[in-house]
Amino acid sequence: MSYSNIRVELCDGVGLIRLDRPAVLNALNAALMRELGAALQVLEADHAVRAIVITGSDRAFAAGADIAEIHSRGFSDLYLENFVTADWEHVTRCRKPVIAAVAGLALGGGCELAMMCDFIIAADNARFGQPEVKVGTLPGAGGTQRLARAVGKAKAMDLCLTGRLMDADEAERSGLVARVVPTTSLLDEALQAARQIAAYSGMAVRLNKEAVNSAFETSLAEGVRFERHLLYASFASADQKEGMQAFLEKRQPRWQDR
């Protein structure tokens, strides 16, 4: 499948998606988001792909939604076409793990897209923000909600109300990103993490992802019960038996994803 606004590569069980609108710092227009959604669906359906990485360029992961495309739109336009939701939620529906590899700017919709991924690996030059207040509006792709869950109310309010940017070190301290690495090694680090995940049982990886995500949708007691039921269910799998037997025999497991 050919794309105009992204590039897709496959390597060692990992699907790599590069946002590719360099002239506008990967601003997220409708065409790019449609292509991203289509690519994610293709990778999700490909059994050879076991993890996904989304990245941009050294200058920008994505500098936000494309203001030139949306500035003249009205309420009815956005409401009737279900703007943002229609093409922006594909990342959240992926059952395979998705890593955001962020260098440079991740602002507005770019920050929201990164937060939709399972975790973020940031380059040391990365900067994050939800500066929509500066153009008279607010985040609309989950920015206020995911940011508050990631960094807490005070920090989310600070970023959304002032529109200031947060550098990579602050983002790591605040819990927005999983790790910070040199810009020159960002993609290598992200791909290495994805390959490590891809080497495990695909079923076990999905169970872990489902369990962690449930922590943001349920009470602690309900989440612990859900986790325990998934643990019990995993003991009905061939991969649990193989994994533990391989551990006892001091050999590499041979996963069946069953």
Angle at 183 between CA 178 and CA 186, to 5 degrees: 55
The answer to whether residue 35 is catalytic is no
Contact at 8 Å (CB) between 18 and 4?
no
Is 109 an annotated catalytic residue? yes
Rounded CA separation 150/165 (Å): 16
Nearest alpha-carbon partner for 91 in 112, 108, 106, 107: 112
Q: What is d(CA 97, CA 198) in angstroms, rounded to the nearest whole number?
A: 9
Between CA 19 and CA 109 the distance in angstroms is 13
Q: Which run of H or E residues covers position 119?
A: strand 119-123
Catalytic residue among 109, 110, 129, 243: 109
Residue 79 has φ and ψ, to the nearest 5°, of -70, -45
- Selecting among 39, 65, 141, 193, the annotated active-site residue is 65
| Catalytic residue (choose from 64, 108, 112, 122) | 112
Which DSSP string corresponds to 53-118?
EEE--SSEEE--B-HHHHTT--HHHHHHTTTTHHHH-TGGG-SS-EEEEE-BEEETHHHHHHHHSS
The phi and psi torsions of 26 (rounded to 5 degrees) equal 60, 35
DSSP state at residue 29? -
Is 112 an active-site residue?
A: yes
d(CA 124, CA 142): 25
Is 217 among the catalytic positions?
A: no
Q: Which entry of 35, 132, 172, 227 is annotated as an active-site residue?
A: 132
Positions marked catalytic:
65, 109, 112, 132
